[in-house]
Amino acid sequence: MAKVDDAIATFERNIEIQTGRTVEAWAVLASQEPLRRHGEAVAWLKSTHGLSHAHANHVAKRLLKDAAPLDADPIDALFAGAKAGLRPLYDRLAT
């Protein structure tokens, strides 16, 4: 796992060197926008700030990871809004 962590650290250092901002700073900047989905964040970072796709993708992942509550059930998001009526069916199938 150390090799993966080292690669991520190097990638994040490269983002900072190439853009002048850390991944955390980019995530804070993006969090001030009404971006709810990964694709929205990637598109905004690329079009507004000229980030490469790889850099924008990495920042978007960090943004959404930081925004997600740690105790949230990821299934809840699948059955939000108009799909809420399908949750009981899912629950029965899952058990």
Render pLDDT for 31-59 as a digit per residue (tens, 0 to 9). 999 988 899 999 999 999 999 999 999 99
Domain regions of the chain by residue span: 2-70
The pLDDT value recorded for residue 51 is 97
Please check the confidence at residue 91 and state whether its pLDDT lies above 80. yes
- Predicted TM-score (pTM) of the model is 0.67
Tokens of 10: 């190097």
The pLDDT value recorded for residue 11 is 96
CB within 8 Å of 44: residues ≥ 6 apart: 30, 33, 35
Number of Cβ within 10 Å of residue 28's Cβ equals 13
